[in-house]
């Protein structure tokens, strides 16, 4: 999928002209080009995608009315007696059609079914009578859709009910329906645009990874430097105090999802740390933060330092501060950082936080859940480096181990996630779906390995990828991906060494690496410039004669799993 321009194919059984227009007119990345399947031709359009008579699509968006695609549900709406088993049988058939259609696209989005809010069905009994209630039937139908698609790598159900809740009574206008066969108001379509765009950003690996917050009047009420930790507003029987506690809980929930937390505050560090450590109602303690800069210096300067320390990019960063001045300062000086407008009332903080779509991710793996722990290990590692005599001596003390493994069902999701999320040390920044990557790896003359990195401080998980493609007497490195968590410890050299070794095994004498430059992968080019490979004139290609030795770093113990070896996922 092209990161900046994506084509979307809309399949619907109601008029979606306004939705298509809103998708195309939305100025946030990626830019969308939209085509519509013929009106109310859902099944033929899906079948055409499935059997390949319709050209392959990038993104397909299937938005249907339950009564239009599930005949038995339409009967139920008319008050006819229909068994829920019959309805669910039809849902299964519809889901199979959608699943087959998904083979004809990179990814498919499907909003769950809704009915207009004024449709009360049997009223009190609507959820109690499972065989006759409209609401009860709809919930079971949607449940079945979720269950069926939970194992499909490229199908993403979307919560349309939430869009309708956001808009309220105006989400459905009967006049719009009778005059134009438009099911939803434009306000609902706008919510759908936001979720689709967030989803595409997630699939493109553009999800933000780091949330940096201010302290005074952001994490708690008041100025800790003035009042001391006992005087700040946090918790207690106080509306604002409770709101700050809930905001901290919201931040902690993000941390559990793998979003790193950082602090950027103008304060005395010792005073701020005392508050974080000693206040009894503080939800976030120092160990919940991957890093911080607490000083009286300019926040923009300190933010750059902090982001660099965490080996992340500014484009991965979000900044929350109650001060409009500080927000403006960061927006102007560091435009890549996302600085959301922030309410002045602390009771609106949680709503503002939970409304952010920038953290949406395409997958959630064990590596994500453990990311924070990995950074804590990194902090300890950094302390160790400061004590060591030189970077080389420090590396010797790490007791690093790398396990090299082939693509397997247990690591597939993480491999594709890493491929799609890594920006800095990424040779070609390929973005692929699980299916397309698996298919690519199965191709002739191709080689792939994933790398798990650990050391005496902990396990960084599956954090590097290498793939090659042979063409005659030479091979080209296609994917050279290293997570920022393990950069500059010799992992890059292990990958290169493994690539050279593989060339020898394949009888290939020349290895080529071509860096496709993006705004973010400058560190990758820098690595290749000092890799020992010969740079080709004019361009970012590097070559190596594989008859020459390219030994892996001596401080790393390397083991290799074969396809038959069992492993943890």
Q: Which CB atom, from 160 or from 182, has the smaller least distance to another protein?
A: 182
- Least separation, in Å, of the C-beta of 192 and another protein? 13
Angle between helices 84-101 and 42-51 (to 10 degrees): 50
Asked if 407 contacts 414 with a C-beta cutoff of 8 angstroms, the reply is no
**Nearest-CA neighbor of 48 among 7, 98, 101, 85?**
101
Least spacing, CB of residue 268 vs another protein, in Å: 48
Q: Determine if 370 is a binding residue for another protein (CB under 8 A).
A: no
CB of 323 to another protein, least distance (A): 31
Please give the radius of gyration of the chain, using alpha carbons only, rounded to the nearest integer.
Answer: 27
> Minimum Å distance from CB 17 to another protein?
5
Tell me whether residue 24 or residue 287 sits nearer to another protein (CB atom): 24
Which among 167, 153, 48 is positioned nearest to 116, based on CA atoms? 167
Tell me which H or E stretch contains 538: none
Alpha helices in 208-362 (DSSP H): 224-227, 239-256, 269-278, 299-309, 324-333, 349-354
User: Which of 2, 5, 21, 324 is close enough to bind another protein by CB under 8 A?
Assistant: 21
CA neighbours closer than 13 Å in the CB half-sphere of residue 124: 0
Of the candidates 2, 17, 130, 545, which one interacts with another protein according to CB under 8 A?
17
Q: Which stretch binds another protein (CB under 8 A): 16-24, 276-284, 444-452, 518-526?
A: 16-24
How far is 77 from 216, CA to CA, in rounded Å?
Answer: 55
The C-alpha torsion from 378 through 382 and 383 to 384, rounded to 10°, is 100
Give the contact letters, 177-196, x = binds to another protein (CB under 8 A), - = no: --xx-x---x---x------
What are 359's two structure tokens?
């953290």
* 175 vs 237, beta carbon nearer another protein: 175
Rule CB under 8 A: say whether 22 interacts with another protein: yes
Q: What does the alpha-carbon distance between residue 8 and residue 107 come to, in Å, rounded to a whole number?
A: 10
Task: Please check whether residue 494 is in contact with residue 555, taking contact to mean a CB–CB distance below 8 angstroms.
Answer: no
Which residue number, 180 or 236, has a Cβ lying nearer to another protein? 180
CB of 174: closest distance to another protein in angstroms? 10
User: Which residue, among 306, 211, 206, has the nearest Cα to 252 in the 3D structure?
Assistant: 211
- H helix or E strand, kind and range, residue 469: strand 458-471
Q: Does 31 bind another protein (CB under 8 A)?
A: no
Q: Coil, helix or strand for 536?
A: coil
Nearer to another protein, 181 or 285 (CB): 181
Stretch that binds another protein, among 15-23, 125-133, 151-159, 520-528 (CB under 8 A): 15-23
Q: Which of 3, 7, 14, 18 binds another protein (CB under 8 A)?
A: 18
**Binding string to another protein for residues 108 to 147, with x set by CB under 8 A, is what?**
----------------------------------------
Count CB neighbours of 324 within 10 A: 11
Q: For another protein, what does the binding mask look like between residues 145 and 174, x meaning CB under 8 A?
A: -------------------------x--x-
Binding site for another protein (CB under 8 A): 15, 17-18, 21-22, 24-25, 170, 173, 175-176, 179-180, 182, 186, 190
């Amino acid at each position: 999928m092209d990161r900046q321009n994506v084509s979307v194919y809309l399949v619907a059984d109601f008029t979606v002209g306004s939705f298509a227009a809103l998708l195309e007119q939305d100025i946030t990345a990626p830019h969308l080009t939209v085509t519509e399947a013929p009106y109310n031709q859902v099944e033929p359009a899906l079948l055409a995608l499935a059997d390949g008579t319709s050209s392959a699509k990038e993104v397909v968006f299937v938005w249907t009315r339950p009564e239009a695609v599930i005949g038995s549900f339409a009967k139920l709406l008319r008050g006819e007696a229909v068994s829920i088993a019959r309805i669910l049988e039809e849902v299964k058939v519809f889901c199979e059609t959608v699943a087959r259609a998904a083979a004809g696209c990179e990814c498919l989005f499907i909003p769950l079914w809704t009915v207009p809010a004024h449709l009360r069905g049997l009223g009190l009994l609507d959820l109690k009578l499972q065989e006759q209630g409209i609401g009860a039937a709809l919930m079971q139908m949607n449940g079945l859709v979720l269950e069926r698609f939970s194992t499909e790598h490229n199908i993403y159900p979307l919560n349309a009910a939430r869009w309708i809740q956001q808009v309220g009574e105006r989400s459905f206008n009967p006049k719009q329906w009778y005059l134009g066969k438009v099911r939803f108001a434009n306000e609902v379509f706008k919510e759908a645009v936001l979720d689709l765009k967030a989803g595409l950003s997630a699939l493109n690996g553009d999800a933000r990874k780091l949330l940096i917050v201010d302290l005074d009047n952001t994490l708690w009420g008041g100025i800790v430097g003035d009042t001391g930790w006992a005087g700040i507003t946090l918790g207690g029987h106080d509306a604002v105090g409770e709101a700050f506690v809930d905001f901290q809980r919201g931040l902690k929930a993000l941390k559990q999802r793998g979003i790193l937390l950082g602090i950027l505050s103008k304060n005395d560090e010792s005073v701020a740390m005392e508050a974080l450590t000693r206040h009894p109602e503080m939800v976030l303690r120092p160990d919940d933060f991957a890093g911080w800069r607490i000083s009286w210096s300019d926040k923009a300067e300190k933010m750059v330092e902090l982001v660099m320390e965490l080996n992340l990019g500014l484009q991965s960063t979000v900044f929350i501060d109650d001060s409009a001045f500080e927000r403006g300062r960061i927006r102007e000086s560091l435009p890549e950082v996302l600085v959301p407008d922030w309410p002045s009332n602390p009771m609106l903080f949680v709503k503002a936080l939970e409304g952010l779509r920038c953290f949406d991710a395409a997958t959630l793996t064990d590596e994500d859940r453990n990311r924070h722990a990995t950074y804590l290990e990194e902090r300890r590692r950094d302390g160790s480096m400061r004590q060591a005599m030189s970077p080389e001596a420090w590396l010797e003390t790490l007791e690093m181990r790398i396990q090299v493994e082939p693509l397997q069902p247990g690591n597939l999701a993480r491999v594709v996630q890493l491929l799609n999320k890594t920006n800095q040390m990424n040779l070609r920044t390929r973005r692929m779906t699980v299916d397309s990557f698996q298919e690519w790896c199965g191709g002739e003359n191709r080689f792939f390995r994933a790398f798990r990195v650990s050391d005496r401080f902990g396990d960084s998980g599956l954090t590097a990828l290498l793939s090659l493609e042979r063409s005659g007497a030479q091979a080209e490195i296609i994917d050279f991906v290293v997570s920022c968590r393990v950069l500059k410890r010799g992992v890059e050299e292990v990958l290169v060494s493994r690539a050279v070794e593989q060339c020898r095994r394949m009888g290939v004498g020349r290895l080529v690496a071509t860096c496709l430059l993006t705004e973010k992968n400058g560190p990758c080019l820098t690595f290749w410039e000092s890799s020992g490979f010969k740079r080709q004139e004019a361009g970012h290609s590097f070559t190596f004669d594989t008859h020459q030795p390219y030994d892996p770093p001596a401080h790393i113990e390397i083991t290799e799993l074969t396809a038959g070896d069992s492993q943890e996922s």
